[in-house]
Amino acid sequence: MKLLAKIVLTTALFSGVAQAGLVVIVNPSGPDSLSKSQVSKLYLGKSKRLPSGEKVKVFERANGSAERQAFHAAITGKSESQLQAYWSRLVFTGKGKPPKVLGSASLIKNQVAANSAAIGYIDEADVDSSIKVLFKL
């Protein structure tokens, strides 16, 4: 019975993270659509430009945040430790630079709203007319 309670509690916790309602956002003058694969490449530094050819500015939440963990689980398929190892290797070899980390959804939203080539992710509840939603996770 105790095991069953742990399973139910664990399922409830993970389903809450999965239903956080994260959305991938861009500037209103930015692209109208990007695939999950394109967003993954941008967040892993494998692609540095938007389809328009503009050099992209990628913003994300701080290490350890529930939003960051949910985003990367859904988009890049990497855990926090895998991301850290991935970026450490690229930075050490001079082959890449991780996305700029911002501490809150409002900072990400403001940066994306101010830059036509920026991309970020925020909770769906924080969406307003200053940014455009590409898709919901």
The pLDDT assigned to 2 comes to 56
The pLDDT assigned to 61 comes to 95
Query: Pairing relation of β-strands 118-123 and 57-60?
Result: parallel
**Using CA atoms, how far apart are residues 128 and 56, in angstroms rounded to an integer?**
21
**pTM across the whole model:** 0.83
- Least confidently predicted of 12-21, 27-36, 48-57: 12-21
Contact at 8 Å (CB) between 31 and 112? no
pLDDT at position 9 over 50? no
pLDDT at position 88 over 70? yes
Query: Could you give the 3-state DSSP secondary structure of residue 18?
Result: helix
The pLDDT assigned to 20 comes to 52
Closest Cα partner for 63 from 98, 18, 25, 90? 98
**Using CA atoms, how far apart are residues 112 and 121, in angstroms rounded to an integer?**
9
Please state the separation of Cα 33 from the chain's center in Å: 15
Give the mean pLDDT of the chain: 88
Contact at 8 Å (CB) between 50 and 56? yes
Strand partners, 135: 24
pLDDT at position 13 over 60? no
